[in-house]
Amino acid sequence: MNTKFFNLAFASAALLTLSHTLMAGDIAQGKTKAAACAGCHGNNGIGLSEEFPNLAGQKQAYIIKQLSAFKNGSRQDPTMNAMAASLSTQDIADLAAWFSSLAKVNAQAAPNTPIVKTSPVSRREFPETVYISMKKSAAIETFPQQNSWQGGPNMLYTAITPDNKLLLSTSPSTNSLYVFNTSNGKQVAIIKTGKAPKGVKVTPDGQFAYVSNQGSGDLTVIKLATLKVIDTITVKKGPHNVRFTNDGSLAYVTLQGGDGIAVIDTRTRKMIRVIAVPGITGPHNLDLSADEKTAFVRDFVHHVAVVDLASGRVKKVITVGNGHGGIDVLPNGKFAATAAIGDDYITVINTRTLEARNIKVGKGPHGIRASKDSQWIYVTLTGENAIAVINTNTMTLETKIASGQFPFWIAVNGNP
């Protein structure tokens, strides 16, 4: 064989491999595609909190290698495995081109807007007790009393029983549900759930709690009179949170690992159908209109889908702030308010006209719930360790109150 030819063939094969691993990444395309990453890695590739690595200025080949490893499962992280699953080789190349092009800047936290109020907190903004989980302080805090109850690791979602006696909170890292006696803040039980429990809700009659286990794809049903697990409902696809109808006959469950909402018949405790919600990525939290005909579904990225439940038709997809967050239809039914952990504002949607407006609140808003009289909207600011309170008469920020670390979710009696 002609050595010259051999060398040439070898060289071009090597070149091919090289151009394959560093496949033509398009920075502009990457920038567009990176919108899905901003909720955790920031708009500029700087992670929004300690748990999210910086990607700005990272080596291109390294990003490609890591994303490919998340995609094929050889590197394990539940969030990133899910994120990378849908990325094509071209997407990965574009994303790597974009993030590596960004300047490596020191993550400089924006100066905090002053937190106005510490102690004591006025009753005016808290007509009834509000219970808030503190993920990083492993505690529940009550407002306006500002009591702190010791809970378990990563206290996440919370719910209050209609009689106000028990407060429930999930601990995904220990696969359990903590139950507190609200009269003294003592733990009365720690109940084993499925894997990675997220949302928890109580049936309107106060008899049962449903816990959505995102890791095991099922719901744990707990009888509250005995605090015992009485059933497990399989739904698959990463159930994240639940909303019961007011008569308690149905439970709607967001399937964050899929693309829809599961409908559970609470009498038979079986899934009866899945309503597909096209146009959004990873259904995360949901709430219902006052007449319960429409669902407002918040996804994991930056959308709210407005779904007509009878026909399953998506009436509108509204772009909201980056990252995941809660959503609450105010008890008076007039507005749906949603938070966005990767941004510094909430979005308030008029439930009749579907017009949306943004209200600046501070860093990392996630949990969001209105008071029972719809006068106040409470928002947890995960990036500021504070609770923002919006006055719904003016739709402006009324006050901010210091809290424990990483305030996450809010339970208000009368507004499940």
Q: For binding to ligand HEC (CB under 6 A), which residues are involved?
A: 36-37, 39-41, 51-53, 55, 63, 66-67, 77, 79-80, 83, 95
Tokens of residue 231, six digits: 């059933």
Q: How far apart are CA 202 and CA 380, in angstroms?
A: 21
Nearer to ligand HEC, 63 or 348 (CB): 63
- Nearest-approach distance from CB 94 to ligand HEC, in angstroms: 10
- Nearest-approach distance from CB 63 to ligand HEC, in angstroms: 5
Amino acid letter at 133?
S
- Nearest-approach distance from CB 80 to ligand HEC, in angstroms: 5
- Nearest-approach distance from CB 270 to ligand HEC, in angstroms: 31
Tokens of residue 71, six digits: 């995609």
**Which of 219-229 are b and which e, b meaning 16 or more Cβ less than 10 Å from the residue's Cβ?**
bbbbebeebeb
- Nearest-approach distance from CB 235 to ligand HEC, in angstroms: 21
Residue reference for tokens 């539940």: 78
Could you give the angle at the alpha carbon of 74 between the alpha carbons of 71 and 79, nearest 5°? 50
- Nearest-approach distance from CB 305 to ligand HEC, in angstroms: 18
Residue reference for tokens 């409908």: 263
Nearer to ligand HEC, 41 or 201 (CB): 41
Q: How far apart are CA 153 and CA 172, in angstroms?
A: 8
Nearer to ligand HEC, 51 or 291 (CB): 51
- Nearest-approach distance from CB 99 to ligand HEC, in angstroms: 7
Nearer to ligand HEC, 201 or 366 (CB): 366
If one counts every other C-beta atom within 10 angstroms of the C-beta of residue 126, the result is: 20
Residue reference for tokens 């030819």: 5
Nearer to ligand HEC, 37 or 288 (CB): 37
Nearer to ligand HEC, 63 or 166 (CB): 63
Nearer to ligand HEC, 24 or 272 (CB): 24
Tokens of residue 346, six digits: 């909430």
Q: How far apart are CA 178 and CA 219, in angstroms?
A: 16
Q: Are 303 and 322 a contacting pair, CB within 8 Å?
A: no
Rounded to a whole number of angstroms, the distance between the first and last alpha carbons of the chain is 78
- Nearest-approach distance from CB 55 to ligand HEC, in angstroms: 6
Q: Are 140 and 167 a contacting pair, CB within 8 Å?
A: yes
- Close Cβ partners of 378 (under 8 Å, ≥ 6 residues apart): 130, 132, 143, 367, 368, 369, 370, 371, 387, 388, 389, 390, 410, 412
- Nearest-approach distance from CB 214 to ligand HEC, in angstroms: 12
Q: How far apart are CA 20 and CA 1, in angstroms?
A: 28
Nearer to ligand HEC, 79 or 396 (CB): 79
Could you give the angle at the alpha carbon of 326 between the alpha carbons of 408 and 252, nearest 5°? 120
Q: Are 240 and 254 a contacting pair, CB within 8 Å?
A: yes
Nearer to ligand HEC, 258 or 416 (CB): 258
- Nearest-approach distance from CB 45 to ligand HEC, in angstroms: 9
Of 81, 98, 107, 85, the residue nearest 32 (C-alpha): 98
Report CA-CA distances (Å) from 289 to 297, 332, 372: 11, 9, 15
Q: Are 141 and 130 a contacting pair, CB within 8 Å?
A: no
Nearer to ligand HEC, 255 or 370 (CB): 255
- Nearest-approach distance from CB 406 to ligand HEC, in angstroms: 14
Nearer to ligand HEC, 41 or 363 (CB): 41
